[in-house]
Structures are given as structure tokens and as C-alpha cells.
Amino acid sequence: MSGDRTSTTGRAGEGEARKTAEGLGYLSGFGNEHSSEAVPGALPHGRNSPQRAPLGLYAEQLSGSAFTEPRAHNRRSWLYRIRPSAAHPRFTRVDNGGVRTAPFTESAPDPNRLRWNPLPEPAPGTDFLAGLWTLGGNGDAAQRTGMGIHLYHANASMTGRVFSDADGELLIVPERGGLLLRTEFGLLHAEPGEVALIPRGVRFRVELLDASARGYVCENYGAPFQLPDLGPIGANGLANARDFRAPVAAYEDVEGPVEVVNKFCGNLWHATYDHSPLDVVAWHGNHVPYVYDLHRFNVIGSISYDHPDPSIFTVLTSPSDTPGLAGVDFVVFAPRWLVGEDTFRPPYFHRNVMSEYMGLIEGAYDAKAAGEGGFVPGGGSLHNMMSAHGPDRETFEKASAAELRPQKIDDGLAFMFETRWPVTATEQAAQASHLQRGYDDVWQGLERHFRN
């Protein structure tokens, strides 16, 4: 793909960005050593940092792991750009808007089950960054542990500004409205049902492909997401590595003021550059943005009896220092067949040492009644460490009486951010008007059936 020389930022709803998003080229594979050049000859061969980089470009390394981390976890990319990133003026603080960062100390961690409706309509002219709203999280961004859970609701493209997050990588889960992500590495297109990942520190701009856009973001402060081990599942299955797509190089050669907003240790800082930092003409490496279509997930489940634990639905995992204990797992509940014999098929009643934030991308979820005031697309639930939850009354009654024929669950797409540390809600989330204050009621009226 040739260099995208000019910035076509476009207004929300304009066809321009969608046209650009269609037919984008991609590089396939997870964690690969990719390479890409927007102009032939821009990528040096045989070395990373020649005395003079090709075409008068500057060579720059972007490290996503310590230099010394084991090869299997080492992440870095080499960027060949019009100006080095170092050529920038001083950053100064700007208002954090709705963005909050760990440690989350504004409110006490709450053992109650919490559920929210979707974010309210934003004011006209709200872009992705202005529309980011933090629900809560855990850990400590400066210690590089834990995560932030955000939602976004935007009705304008980012124009004249780009964003980067030093605190963590961003897993963007669109629920409504397509996104065109212009990154230092090239362009990514993410529709609802797909997810996009922007690595720590990578500059990007979000353009809307529809009049508005809504979704979820997991800001992972910890180790970069990786594919889970498959163990006895074997060499294939769950999210297959080849279905992850990285962009091909595309650059902007824009001289003129561009606002760069940098999230650093919980605060937003900005500087006005005299050029666009999306000026990378070629790159190679494995610290790269990517998109993944959740419909490609190979769902594995029980073909005999019982409801398996949802760890088999793990798309990506961010390991912590303890093997098997994730800082955060990204889990998807994708269309699948249920065939279990003599089995209560929806999610079971449970209390979990892990904490679970769930969102809904489309349709309904099989443990919860759908519809207004329930678990709806764009809404979310938080079931913190050891809080008792599971099917609501209506689901329990139906599933206990259902005839156990093979059943296709294909009316929804839900996901979970599951984490080893309790999630503390922000003050704005704890007080939000869109918090469902009667959520506990869904488990009221579960009748006593005991006979002795």
C-alpha cells in the first residue's frame, strides 16, 4: 500500500474514512516479526540502524518490553520516520476529562454486584479521547500491574490530534460504529465484533466510520496480551494466530500544528507538534497494533456433560508473576452449540476469586434476560471477587425445565475482562445515573425446591 500522504480526518458520518477503511492490506499472524514499507527502499536491510537510514529517514526503536526479557516475551519495533519522535516541544498537563487511572482510591471496593446501562449520549463534537470514561480497574499503572476499564461514546472523529498511552496497551472493543485507527504503523479498521489493540506508547488517531461510536476499552497496565497456552487442546484452536492482522506501513507527511496527547501515570499531557507524528514510512518488529475478528474464534466446549469454566473462551491473556493467574484475561462468549446431556447449560451459580467485568457487543447473553433494564449491548456488569452470581431467576427456571436438544447459541456476542485483583469502581461509575440500582432483584424470587 502506498503512503497516505495527507491527513483525511473527515467528519463523523462522512464516506471518506469508510472508503479508506475498505480494502486495507494487512500482515497476518500474532507476535510475528513483521516488516512493511510504504515507499520501496525505505526499510534498511541487514541492520537496524545504518549510518544513514534510507531515503533520509530517521531510525528509531520502540521497546514494549525490557531489552533483557526472554526472547519469547521480547517486544520491540524499529520505525523509519520523517522526524524522530524526540523532536517535540515540552508537554504540559491538560484536563483528564472522564479518564481515571489506577490506583483507584476514589471509592471503597464494593462487594455488591453492579450493572450499568450504556453511556449516555455525548455532547456534539465528542471524539474518542473526549468520550473516554473510566468505570474502574485495579493494580497500579506506575507499577505496571492491573488494568483500567473504560467505555467510550463518541460522535466525531479526532481531528488535528493524536493520542498515545504510556500507561498500558489499549484493547478496544467496538460495540457500535466502525472505527478507522490511523496509527504510526498504518491503518486498522475495526467494526463491532472485532477488537483492535494499540500497544503501549503507539500514537494513533480514531476516525469514526459512522455517525457515532460506542464501545469498551481494556487498558492493560501489565504484561502485553499474549495468546493463551492450549495444553491438551492441542496445536490449534481458540484464537488462531494467523487471524490477527497488523497494518501495513502508511504515513502522513503533514507539516503544521498537531496536538499530541500523552497519557502518563494517570494524567493527560499535551504538546503541539509542528508535524504529524504518524510519519513512519517503514517499520519492522513485533511490537505492533493489530485487529482480530471475534467471529473467527474457534469455540471449544463440552460434548458430553457439564458446563465448562469460561477459561476455554480466552482470546488473549496478560500473565502476572504467578503462572496461571492472569492480570487480565480477555474472554469471548461467541456463537456455539450446547449439547450437554443432563446438564444445566447456562453459566452456573458461582463465587469466583477472580473478578469479572462483562460487556455485551450484540444480542443477548445466555445467563441474563435480555431487554431494557437488563444486560444490554453497551452496558456492563461487575461481579467482584467472591460475589455470588450466575443465572438470573428467569434463566434458571427456563434452563432447569428445558428439553435438552442440541441448541445453537447464536443470538449474541458477550465478553469478559477477568482479573486476579478486585476491581474498584471510579466515583463517576459508582454515582452514575446509568447504574442499575435494582440489579440485585434479578436473583430475588429464586424459590426453595428442597425436599427431604
Ligand X SMILES: O=C(O)Cc1cc(O)ccc1O
CA-wise closest residue to 380 among 95, 105, 29, 118: 118
Q: ∠74-293-40 over CA atoms, to 5°?
A: 60
Instruction: Name the E strands within 141-266.
Output: 145-154, 161-165, 169-176, 179-183, 186-190, 194-198, 204-208, 213-220, 245-247, 255-264
Instruction: Confirm whether residue 356 is marked as ligand binding.
Output: yes
The reply on whether position 356 binds ligand X by CB under 6 A is yes
The reply on whether position 379 binds ligand X by CB under 6 A is no
User: Are the CB atoms for 424 and 137 separated by under 8 Å?
Assistant: yes
The reply on whether position 64 binds ligand X by CB under 6 A is no
Residue type, 202: V
Task: Just list the catalytic residues.
Answer: 307
Beta-ladder partners of 37:
282
Rg over alpha carbons for the chain, rounded to the nearest Å, is: 22
CB closer to ligand X, 1 vs 312 = 312
CB closer to ligand X, 96 vs 302 = 302
Residue 214 interacting entry, from Fe ion, ligand X, none, C-beta within 5 to 8 Å by type: none
Rounded least distance, CB 395 to ligand X, Å: 10
Pick the binder of ligand X from 5, 350, 351, 408 (CB under 6 A).
Answer: 350
CA-wise closest residue to 424 among 149, 133, 143: 149
The reply on whether position 310 binds ligand X by CB under 6 A is yes
User: Are the CB atoms for 235 and 137 separated by under 8 Å?
Assistant: no
CB closer to ligand X, 133 vs 333 = 333
Residue 13 interacting entry, from ligand X, Fe ion, none, C-beta within 5 to 8 Å by type: none
Residue 367 interacting entry, from Fe ion, ligand X, none, C-beta within 5 to 8 Å by type: ligand X
Rounded least distance, CB 350 to ligand X, Å: 6
CB closer to Fe ion, 288 vs 414 = 414
Write the binding mask 299 to 338 for Fe ion: x where contact by CB under 5 A, - elsewhere.
Answer: ----------------------------------------
Beta-ladder partners of 179:
190, 208
Give me the residue whose beta carbon is nearest to Fe ion.
356
Q: How far apart are CA 130 and CA 34, in angstroms?
A: 32
Question: What phi, psi does 365 have (nearest 5°)?
Answer: -115, 140
Question: Cell for 281?
Answer: 514510512
Rounded least distance, CB 45 to ligand X, Å: 49
Instruction: Confirm whether residue 153 is marked as ligand binding.
Output: no
Instruction: Confirm whether residue 365 is marked as ligand binding.
Output: yes
Write the binding mask 333 to 372 for Fe ion: x where contact by CB under 5 A, - elsewhere.
Answer: -----------------------x----------------
Give the footprint of ligand X on residues 383-412 (CB under 6 A).
383, 389
The reply on whether position 99 binds ligand X by CB under 6 A is no
Q: How far apart are CA 416 and CA 434, in angstroms?
A: 20
DSSP 13-60: T-HHHHHHHTT--EEE-SS--EEEESSTT-S-SS-SS-SS-GGGPEEE
Residue 47 interacting entry, from Fe ion, ligand X, none, C-beta within 5 to 8 Å by type: none
User: Are the CB atoms for 219 and 129 separated by under 8 Å?
Assistant: no
Identify which range of 83-91, 143-151, 264-272, 307-315 contacts ligand X by CB under 6 A: 307-315
Q: Within 10 A of 33 (CB to CB), how many other CB atoms are there? A: 10
Pick the binder of ligand X from 347, 374, 379, 422 (CB under 6 A).
Answer: 347
Q: Within 10 A of 16 (CB to CB), how many other CB atoms are there? A: 15
Instruction: Confirm whether residue 69 is marked as ligand binding.
Output: no
Per rule CB under 6 A, count of chain residues that contact ligand X: 11
Q: Where along the sequence are the contacts to ligand X (CB under 6 A)?
A: 307, 309-310, 347, 350, 352, 356, 367, 383, 389, 416
Q: Which residues are annotated as a binding site for Fe cation?
A: 350, 356, 389
Q: Where along the sequence are the contacts to Fe ion (CB under 5 A)?
A: 356
